[in-house]
Amino acid sequence: MASWHYSVFLLVASAMQLILAEVNQGSVPLNAGTFDKITSKFKATLVKFDEMYPYGEKHDEFKKVAKDSTSQPELLVAEINVADYGDKDNADLGKRFGLTKDDFPAYKLFIQGKDEPIDFTGDATKVEEIKKFIIQHSGLWLGLPACIEEFDSYVREFVKASDEDREKIVRKAEAAAAAASSEDLKERSNIYVKTFQKILEKGEEFVSSELDRVERLSEGKVSEKKKSLLKTRASILTSFQLWMKPVHEEL
């Protein structure tokens, strides 16, 4: 009998460890008592409102966003799990933000100093859509696949700079690309450099037209290697596009 009790204890302990481990993967659970205190401390807070025990594809994508957010100290990713039974945990927060069970999962982005959150209306089954939403509305860096933080910082400088300063930034990027420590890094860095050069030559509209072209090519019959390269180019071009449309500065 003692052995049976010990086995049950181990199972419960293991289950608790799994639950705690999932909570610790970059996401913070909030309730009415902690919501305002915690969210006010961060430049941006992405909150997912959902049922008490979420699961499935959309929740899996949320976990990826939460995990990726750990490298950005000014961003908090949080979740509020709302119950419609028993003590109705967090139902007050759902009501506060005008949400019902039918809306779940619902994402809202809270920007420090702003009264109203921004609703995410994109595809919650695509982690990159959620990340692009955060980047565009917060101005925080949250790397898209294949993107390089150093070169994304050059993009941010570039889009705000005068023509003369843009050329200086491109020279900086060229030097950084030449000093890349690996072939993969050099290849990705050169995509940034070539994009800078094309913008100087053709204007900022080059980015959207080139992104359209790359996406059309990737949908055709190309080798896996070529498809991978096109995916990298599309991701970097998307990063340019996001920084060239700084929604966060209009808020």
- Counting residues of the chain whose pLDDT is more than 90, the rounded percentage is 77
CA dihedral over 97, 98, 100, 103, signed as positive or negative: negative
pLDDT in tens, 185-228: 999 999 999 999 999 999 999 999 999 999 999 988 889 999 99
231 and 173 fall within a common domain: yes
132 and 176 fall within a common domain: no
Residue 227 included in any domain: yes
Residue 143 included in any domain: no
pLDDT tier for residue 247 given thresholds of 50, 70 and 90: low
Measured distance CA(240)–CA(156) in Å, rounded: 8
Number of domains, the chain: 2
pLDDT in tens, 31-71: 999 999 999 999 999 999 999 999 999 999 999 999 989 88
156 and 131 fall within a common domain: no
Q: In the numeric block, which tokens belong to residue 71?
A: 């490298």
pLDDT of residue 229: 95
The Cα-based distances of 173 to 2, 140, 153, 205, 235 in angstroms read 67, 20, 10, 20, 18
For residue 17, pLDDT beyond 60: no
Mean pLDDT of the chain: 88
Residue numbers of the domain that contains 213: 149-249
